[in-house]
């Protein structure tokens, strides 16, 4: 059976096409496009992508309004059933605002927009998303955000660290994130939120391909299953 993925588009999304292209290039099957106002997801999905951008103009808080969109109720239900969900940048913010991931993304500590390639370390290579990497592998992925400063209280940080739910960690001071966290998993391991953009690093001609393994790992794991 062909791999079936969907990418959500909100008003203000600007990385939805990049995410859809990455999924198609790796899986060979076009991603289905889903509008934020839809109440239901397509049937039999293997993977859901929540893209980067500036949903609803980042009004109120980044991701806050998008997290209340009709489609997010269906995304939450799908995630609770075990469907893999990847939230990138603004998508990470949406996932925290919707309660699928703990913590919050605040204004960068330097109070400026950061747009560059950032060095990361793979902290968990055992998840569906990160199985294509080696534990401790250092990779380079683009970042482009103004509100990527991950915050959670110390008890929450200790818990996600202890449960191996930190997927990626910055190797430099990127945005002030607590414990340099760049991406985290939910307790079940089927939801990943990350500020760096793996979908922008799938082809060497575009400056790097370190993000490709994330999509290959997910597609391979899901097709094999």
Spatial CB neighbours of 224, under 8 Å, sequence gap ≥ 6: none
100 has pLDDT over 90 = yes
- pLDDT (tens digit per residue) in 151-190: 999 999 999 999 999 999 999 999 999 999 999 999 999 9
Give yes or no for residue 119 having a pLDDT over 60: yes
Which burial class, exposed, middle or buried, applies to 94 when counting CB atoms under 10 A from its CB (0-12, 13-18, 19+)?
buried
The dihedrals phi and psi of 220, each to the nearest 5 degrees, come to: -60, -45
Specify whether 62 is catalytic. no
Report which of 123, 127, 98 is spatially closest to residue 189, judged by C-alpha positions.
127
pLDDT of residue 2: 81
Residue 122 has pLDDT above 90, yes or no: yes
Mean pLDDT rounded to a whole number for the chain: 96
Of 89, 97, 145, 174, which is the active-site residue?
A: 89
Model pLDDT for residues 187-207, shown as the tens digit of each residue: 999 999 999 999 999 999 888
Cα dihedral 63, 67, 72, 75 sign: positive
pLDDT at 221: 76
Domain locations along the chain: 5-224
Sign of CA dihedral 124, 82, 48, 89: negative
pLDDT digits (tens, 9 = 90+) for 38-59: 999 999 999 999 999 999 999 9
Looking at domain 5-224, its CATH class is: alpha beta
In DSSP terms, 85 is beta-bridged to 48, 191
What's the mean pLDDT in 69-74? 97
Percent pLDDT > 90 in the chain is 94
Sign of CA dihedral 93, 99, 100, 104: positive
pLDDT, residue 91, reads 98
Q: What pTM did the predictor assign? A: 0.96
d(CA 182, CA 118): 10
Q: Please say if 89 is a catalytic residue.
A: yes
Is 40 an annotated catalytic residue? no
């Amino acid at each position: 059976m062909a791999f079936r993925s969907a990418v959500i588009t909100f008003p203000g999304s600007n990385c939805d096409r990049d995410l859809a292209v990455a999924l198609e290039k790796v899986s060979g099957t076009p991603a289905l496009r889903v509008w934020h106002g839809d109440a239901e997801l397509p049937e039999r999905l293997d993977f859901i992508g929540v893209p980067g951008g500036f949903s609803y103009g980042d009004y109120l808080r980044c991701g806050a309004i998008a997290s209340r969109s009709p489609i997010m109720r269906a995304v939450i239900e799908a995630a609770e059933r075990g469907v893999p969900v990847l939230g990138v940048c603004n998508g990470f913010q949406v996932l925290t605002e919707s309660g699928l991931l703990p913590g919050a993304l605040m204004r960068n500590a330097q109070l400026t927009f950061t747009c560059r390639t950032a060095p990361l370390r793979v902290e968990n290579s055992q998840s569906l998303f990160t199985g294509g990497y080696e534990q401790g592998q250092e990779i380079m992925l683009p970042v482009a955000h103004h509100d990527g400063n991950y915050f959670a209280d110390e008890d929450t940080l200790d818990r996600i660290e202890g449960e191996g739910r930190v997927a990626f960690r910055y190797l430099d001071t990127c945005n002030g994130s607590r414990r340099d966290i760049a991406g985290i998993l939910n307790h079940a391991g089927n939801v990943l939120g990350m500020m760096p953009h793996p979908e922008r690093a799938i082809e060497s001609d575009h400056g790097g391909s370190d993000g490709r393994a994330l999509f290959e790992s997910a597609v391979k794991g899901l097709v094999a299953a």
